Amino acid sequence: MNKGVISRGIQIPFINGGDNITGIVVDAVLDTVRTTNPDGSIIYDINDKDVIGVAESIVSRALNQYVTVDNIAADIENKYGKGASIVLIAPIYSIDRFSIILKGIARTAGKLVFYLPEFDDVGNHCVNIMECYSEICASENCECVMDGMEWKNRKYPILDCRLHSKQFPKPQKMIYWHINEICSNVSPDWGLLGTTKATEESIRLFPSIQTSNKVCRIIKKAIRRKTGKNVVVCIYGTGCLKDPVYGIWDFIDPVTMPGYTDRELIESLSYGTTQRIHRDLLASLMNLTSRNETPIVLIQNYFKD
């Protein structure tokens, strides 16, 4: 019987720092596809080009990829000086995503001037977020100005907080940094892009390209050794979907996939009414399948034809 695309979420125990993430993923996938024949022999219901997706969150958690509020404050002080007045351009309106970053900035800055568009990069409205961000600044004894026009009249240093700010060139003759350049000594690819609150004093980083690709290669080799099948393995982020009712983008991470094994497959174009990169389509499907409950996703028959 011909089967269409199948996407299955695979549950695993909570991942802690130091866990063998590659071994856990391989065992979980094989347990899911393992079948025992009447004669006692074992077969695996997995095929060449089946896609194994691993959520970026469990990769960085297992590998202890975090920075603290004090780490952020130290880098801000190094770039802007202690007690500086800094303009924050368009931070994301998400307490989970930005509150710890803001706490680190406010811990060393003297004054923060917010430029807040009506909607952030993913479509969240700024209503109610101003009070929250003001409270965070107050808790760190940092003056807070929610007047986005004030910075245009003064030559304040700027921190560009837009999610995909690599595309924006730096102005000349002024102190101007992108959020992806903060803590880049720890996270060279993304800086503080794609981070998520871990504790009240730390955030979890988005995994690097090198780390993600290494994890993918190890998983791919282990699956091939045990099953003989040449699967595709990737680390996926938030996908690239837009809610048609509320207009909210799901594209919060710097890229949809920081790592994958088969570049020619993942980066090729799909054929349909609207052509899209397979990498983005797969990440979106994985994100919808997992919804933070099943951080491993097995997609079968996607590349069947």
Q: How confident is residue 165, by pLDDT bands cut at 50, 70 and 90?
A: low
Could you give the count of Cα atoms lying within 13 Å of 223 in the half-sphere of its Cβ? 33
pLDDT band at 275 (very low <50, low <70, confident <90, very high): confident
List, in order of start, the domains of the chain with CATH numbers. Answer: 6-64+207-300 (3.30.1330.100), 66-204 (3.40.50)
Mean pLDDT value across residues 133-138 = 96
Q: What is the pLDDT of residues 6-55, one digit of tens each?
A: 999 999 999 999 999 999 999 999 999 999 988 988 999 999 999 999 99
Q: How far apart are CA 102 and CA 259, in angstroms?
A: 28
> pLDDT tens, 83-134?
999 999 999 999 999 999 999 999 999 999 999 989 999 999 988 899 999 9
Number of H helices, E strands in the chain: 8, 15
Please name the helix (run of DSSP H) or strand (run of DSSP E) that holds residue 29, with its range, or none. Answer: helix 21-33
Question: Does 166 score more than 60 pLDDT?
Answer: no
Whether 115 and 87 have beta carbons less than 8 Å apart is answered as yes
pTM for the whole structure:
0.93
Tens digit of pLDDT for each residue in 196-236?
999 999 999 999 999 999 999 999 999 999 999 999 999 99
